[in-house]
Chains A and B, each alone.
Chain A
Amino acid sequence: MLASDHFVRMYNELFKLLEQLGRGHLVRYWLEISNLQESLMQRYFEMDGYEGLYAYWDHIRKEENCDMDMQVFDDYFELRMNKCPSLSKNLDNDAGLSLNYCEHCAGWINPVLTKHGFYPVYDIISRKQPRCIMRIFRDKKKAIECSKTVHELWDPYGDLTVREE
């Protein structure tokens, strides 16, 4: 049995292997896990809007031992990760950190959120510090406005890209 505590160190290695094959391989894996993520989040989407998101991440906060703050505002839900347990484990990994490690998080959560009418704005801040900020909007225009103010936006599928008509 691979300890559940160590899955993140195993997939840190998987990210390295897939990236060697090409970026598309990594993205296809994110999308596979995204499908699993959707099934795990389904009951939270059946709750009321941002409150459902709060409930989901509150469950994650406890089970994954996260140091994070969450708040529901009128226009968005905000998650401030103060010490990400996942990146922290891989900063303390004898196999070394995949420098694109943080990308997987939005890689598998964003498709689920956008499918359910939410627009996440994910600020990685730094790929070597275990903190980030995610703000999730119902209103795409507000999400795009917010995305212009963040430190290091990670929008893996271009959901916030303004396309010329």
Chain B
Amino acid sequence: MRYKDTGEVHKDFHLAVDRTITYIMEHYGEQFLIDLCKRTSQQVYQDIYRHLKEGDLCALAEHWQYYYTREGGEFTLTQDNDQLVLTVTKCPAAEHIIKIKGSLSPYYHRFDELLVGSWCEHTPFVSTFTVHNPVSYTITVRRNHASQ
């Protein structure tokens, strides 16, 4: 893994993410948020993105497994050669934001969806993001055979 943090977790950063998403959407609009997500997914997480472009889901799977575990999330992750499915029943970020401020940014899940979408851009994969309730969602990254 390119980044692998250890030690304590500072969950208040999720509040800053939530506030930042709302601020961007209200002042700059969705295209700006898309640009930020692309830079984050494709440049900050260059290693994950490179693996996806090569058709390899392992780096993304390892990243999700590590960080959802590290933050105390409740989730299942299934993977085969063509598909990675992350089902989150209790998102630690969303849960912390709701606990402290009462609700999520109306754009919170859109941000997550854009991050994953940016990871899949120009790769053999496509993604879907389904929200079940504020702290629960399923992300599917599957091979797009139509693009092969």
In the complex, the answer to whether A64 meets B17 with C-beta atoms within 8 Å is no
B98 surroundings in chain A (CB, below 8 A): none
In the complex, the answer to whether A1 meets B8 with C-beta atoms within 8 Å is no
**With A and B bound together, what is the CA distance between A95 and B112 in angstroms?**
19
**With A and B bound together, what is the CA distance between A5 and B17 in angstroms?**
11
In the complex, the answer to whether B9 meets A33 with C-beta atoms within 8 Å is no
Q: Give the residue name and chain of the A residue nearest to B15 (CB).
A: A36
Partner of A2, one of B15, B43, B70, B115: B115
In the complex, the answer to whether A4 meets B11 with C-beta atoms within 8 Å is yes
Query: Does A55 have its Cβ within 8 Å of any Cβ on chain B?
Result: no
In the complex, the answer to whether B36 meets A17 with C-beta atoms within 8 Å is yes
Partner of A14, one of B36, B67, B115: B36
Interface range for B: 35 or more
Q: In B14-63, which residues have CB < 8 Å from any A CB?
A: 14-17, 19-20, 23-24, 27, 32, 35-36, 39-40, 43-47
In the complex, the answer to whether B92 meets A1 with C-beta atoms within 8 Å is yes
**With A and B bound together, what is the CA distance between A94 and B12 in angstroms?**
24
In the complex, the answer to whether A2 meets B40 with C-beta atoms within 8 Å is yes
A42 surroundings in chain B (CB, below 8 A): none
Interface residues of B (CB under 8 A from A): 2-3, 5, 7-17, 19-20, 23-24, 27, 32, 35-36, 39-40, 43-47, 67-68, 70-71, 73, 88, 91-94, 111-112, 115
8 A-B pairs with least C-beta separation? A95-B43, A5-B5, A7-B13, A65-B7, A4-B13, A63-B10, A3-B67, A94-B46
Interface residues of A (CB under 8 A from B): 1-14, 16-17, 28-29, 32-33, 36, 40, 60, 62-65, 89, 92-96
